[in-house]
Structure 1
Amino acid sequence: MESPQPFRILTVCTGNICRSPVAERLLQAGLDQVRPGAFEVRSAGTRAMVGEPIQPPSATIIQAFNGSPDHFAARQLTPKILRETDLVLAMTAAHRGEVLQLDASLLKRTFTVREFARMLAVLEEKGVEPAGDDLAGFWRALPARAASVRHLALAQDAADNDVIDPYRRGDEAYAQMEDELAPALLGILRFARISAGS
């Protein structure tokens, strides 16, 4: 029987208008294909431009990967939002630190998105048993499993954990953001498909 409570993922950046909305919308679109209703992805910003829509270049990236940028309003990261989250995927190590300042209990459930994708790749290499009916339950146990292989998934350079902030920096910065973020998101979605047995 499917767990009635979806697995809740929060993506975090600074303004909540460039990076974290791309991660939110593309993860949600991909995870809905894996198992509708099993995952809920939201985003927030550490210094959010509250109420603002997704920046147009980020919206274009979302649409290019078959996601929807519509009906979005940036929101400020709060302790309440964090209390309602099973996994936090931060865009940079600095964002991860800001999350943990708000709620230190999330230490073992907060990663940068690129770091988490590398950890899942290590777990995938070790072999993934399909989750069966309780996919959300499988994913609730996943952050601890991922953290256990952190030492096998270290970045060669600390900058490889971060996704560049493209805000007000032109098309090249948005292209770099996409190059850094998309492979991580695709890796997470591939692991989700494997864990769902699909």
Structure 2
Amino acid sequence: MRAAPASRHDVRFRLLFVCTGNICRSPLAERLTRSILGPCPALQVTSAGTRAGAGTQMTERARRVLVRLGGDPDGFGSRPLTPELVAAADLVLTAASEHRAESVAAFPPAATRTFTIAEFGTLAGSVPPLAVICHEDPVRRAHTLIGEVRARRGLVRVDQPDIPDPYCGSRLAYRAAGRRIAKSLAVPLGLLTHSRVA
């Protein structure tokens, strides 16, 4: 029997990162986000893969890139994407457009809260910071940011929405993926962690 999905009330905001194998791009994004947000019980950050098995570690090159970026790879284990995971997420950020399409196909109502990582970062860059950081509560900030970003979809040009898969690639390919992820997340995570303006 399939276990029931966790209640939306036990964690106030869920962010889900998605890639293919859940051993390179999405765990990089997950663990980097956790390191930037710091201890914040109201925000839960996880990841999954559209073709992932269960319990696989990050690739060694992904681990090294993550450590260079300030994240911690210890204890990570991959998991497959399920409709329940998508349904429970308040925001789904994917490595590429194909993962965005598969996430929405798994749970169509998530279409309005599913973006690629690079797309979300670009759109967040056009959001007036005060629209988000005026709120003290991190959950309210997160929901406000999603609403602001959603309103800009189709209005702000996103030239490169996908982050190429570095799997089986060179160290440079992994570093490039890590840099794109970090750059794309810099603005949205900065808005979530910025000290409130008086």
**Could you say which TM-score interval applies, normalised by the shorter chain?**
0.7 to 0.9
Q: What does residue 138 of structure 1 align with?
A: 141
1:127 CA drift (Å):
4.8
Match of 2:58 among 54, 57, 63: 54
Q: Give distance in 1, aligned partners of 2:170 and 2:47.
A: 23
Q: Give distance in 1, aligned partners of 2:177 and 2:141.
A: 30
Q: What does residue 108 of structure 1 align with?
A: 112
Cα RMSD after superposing both structures: 2.0
Does the 8 A contact of 2:17 with 2:30 survive in 1?
yes
TM alignment of 1:95-174, pairs within 5 A: 95-124=99-128, 127-132=131-136, 134-156=137-159, 160-174=160-174
1:129 CA drift (Å):
4.3
Match of 2:85 among 69, 81, 88: 81
1:125 CA drift (Å):
5.8
**After superposition, what is the alpha-carbon deviation per residue over 1:170-189, rounded to whole angstroms, capped at 9, x for unaligned?**
21211221232120122222
Does the 8 A contact of 2:163 with 2:177 survive in 1?
yes
Q: Give distance in 2, aligned partners of 1:80 and 1:88.
A: 12
User: Any stretches of 5+ residues in structure 2 without a counterpart?
Assistant: 1-8
1:4 CA drift (Å):
6.8
Q: What does residue 182 of structure 2 align with?
A: 182
> 4+ residue runs of structure 1 moved beyond 4 angstroms?
none
Letter in 2 for 1:19: R
Larger relative helix fraction: 1
Q: Matched residue of 1:123: which SS?
A: coil
Larger mean CA deviation between 97-106 and 167-176 belongs to 167-176
Match of 2:19 among 4, 13, 22: 13
Larger mean CA deviation between 79-88 and 180-189 belongs to 180-189
Does the 8 A contact of 2:132 with 2:145 survive in 1?
no
Q: Give distance in 2, aligned partners of 1:187 and 1:125.
A: 9
Letter in 2 for 1:161: P
1:22 CA drift (Å):
0.3
Question: What TM-score, normalized to structure 1?
Answer: 0.87
Letter in 2 for 1:174: Y
User: Any stretches of 5+ residues in structure 1 without a counterpart?
Assistant: none
Letter in 1 for 2:19: C
Q: Matched residue of 1:122: which SS?
A: coil
